[in-house]
Structure 1
């Protein structure tokens, strides 16, 4: 029960819990997929398979996001459930270095947290602010999010992502965050990993996350890929 109740904040950038101040280009689809991952905490071990985020570029500086993941308790065993589901809109308020301009990129993401497939959870909501800055030596993404959880508790999330140089084919990455679901759960977390950028629209990632939730250790292994393609190619196939 502890494992299936655990739901991370909105993920829109693999392999992190936070996100970046960028959106998919208009008409472009970007899919972030984790075929399988492992989560272990004081309640036992669970298989996270699959976890997916679908991003679609709605227009200039706007993106629609749909996400969710399957979780299967392994020890003790249990039923598979759909968790961490949500639907969001993301908007780049101030284009910056992530959009090949000068200065920081600033974005907001807001939306609805959908009920889990099992249990008695309801509907929640979230509002996040993101600031990203890219330099030759690396990139920093700062996240601040306020949430009304599916159980209707208040929640705040503050995190920072650090990436190595974008020009490196394989770049090291790290993330730290603090999250407090008031009167229920407090989490501090650190993640280290690698992103292999195969080409502009394809990357692979692997990461290990270590956290403490109410003083109890949480370990997670994440591995997946991000790929993108234009939906316009479907129209061209039909016309030909």
Structure 2
């Protein structure tokens, strides 16, 4: 998923953590801590949960707690998943109320299975959906469509993302980004991401991220990252830390891996 709480969202996050502790989870394939994503989807009958319990963003004179940041990836059928996401933002200095930001609902489809699906060649996927209104201000709904190409080699993995959007303020927006990871066999692998985004008539962003993903097992991974960006030449710094895990999610029509 590409991306971008209220009390109810916090309850969902807490419930999911409790669920993870009570059932046997399946393999977890994070696309934390990035803004882009990979050309892979959750297996049918699987729920992949990407959760950031706490993160901090510093922009000019404002410091903001980014928590919880939750992404739910639900495997629908072979090559298809549903994605639901949103994050809470709580201003710390100056202080303010928690708001639900950057929520969305999407469908993701692997168009061409490749190296991420244990086949030869690049994996190609598309993701499209609705940007839901923020809980603050007068934002409306928006639309997004993304194309993703991933290639895994022995030395590492590269993911290339291109996204076009109609923002919640009904402006055109384009996003181009690249993720580079260390070898997938490493338990602790370095990762990096660079992207460029332009919201026409409003903002231009250049961003870089460096971090680590710790693959504890095929059932659980943790991540930490530092991001520095320039938005209309104004600096933004962010620390991200979270985890990804998977649990069985049974519904009519779902199949086992």
Query: Within the alignment, does 1:97 sit opposite 2:90 as a pair?
Result: no
CA distance, structure 2, for counterparts of residue 201 and residue 110 of structure 1: 27
Shift, 1:43, TM fit: 4.6
Residue 56 of structure 2 aligns to a residue whose secondary structure is: strand
Which whole-Å deviations, capped at 9, do the CAs of 1:9-28 have from their partners, x for residues lacking one? 51681000000000000000
Shift, 1:76, TM fit: 1.3
Query: Within the alignment, does 1:10 sit opposite 2:28 as a pair?
Result: no
Structure 2 unaligned regions, length at least 5: 5-29, 252-257
- Counterpart of 2:223 in structure 1 is 205
CA distance, structure 2, for counterparts of residue 134 and residue 97 of structure 1: 6
- Counterpart of 1:6 in structure 2 is none
CA distance, structure 2, for counterparts of residue 16 and residue 231 of structure 1: 25
Runs ≥4 residues deviating over 2 A: none
Residue 81 of structure 2 aligns to a residue whose secondary structure is: strand
Equivalent of residue 132 in structure 2, options 106, 114, 117: 114
- TM-score, normalising length: structure 1: 0.92
- TM-score, normalising length: structure 2: 0.86
Shift, 1:201, TM fit: 2.4
CA distance, structure 2, for counterparts of residue 77 and residue 215 of structure 1: 25
- Counterpart of 2:22 in structure 1 is none
Residue 160 of structure 1 aligns to a residue whose secondary structure is: strand
- Counterpart of 2:175 in structure 1 is 157
CA distance, structure 2, for counterparts of residue 108 and residue 197 of structure 1: 26
Query: Within the alignment, does 1:79 sit opposite 2:123 as a pair?
Result: no
Residue 98 of structure 1 aligns to a residue whose secondary structure is: helix
Residue 183 of structure 2 aligns to a residue whose secondary structure is: coil
Which whole-Å deviations, capped at 9, do the CAs of 1:131-186 have from their partners, x for residues lacking one? 00000000000000000000000000000000000000000000000000001000
Equivalent of residue 51 in structure 2, options 30, 33, 52: 33
Query: Within the alignment, does 1:193 sit opposite 2:193 as a pair?
Result: no
Which whole-Å deviations, capped at 9, do the CAs of 1:113-143 have from their partners, x for residues lacking one? 0001111000000000000000000000000
CA distance, structure 2, for counterparts of residue 84 and residue 226 of structure 1: 19
CA RMSD of aligned residues (A): 1.2
CA distance, structure 1, for counterparts of residue 250 and residue 105 of structure 2: 23
CA distance, structure 2, for counterparts of residue 105 and residue 26 of structure 1: 18
Query: Within the alignment, does 1:125 sit opposite 2:143 as a pair?
Result: yes
Query: Within the alignment, does 1:178 sit opposite 2:196 as a pair?
Result: yes
Shift, 1:232, TM fit: 3.8
CA distance, structure 2, for counterparts of residue 200 and residue 45 of structure 1: 35
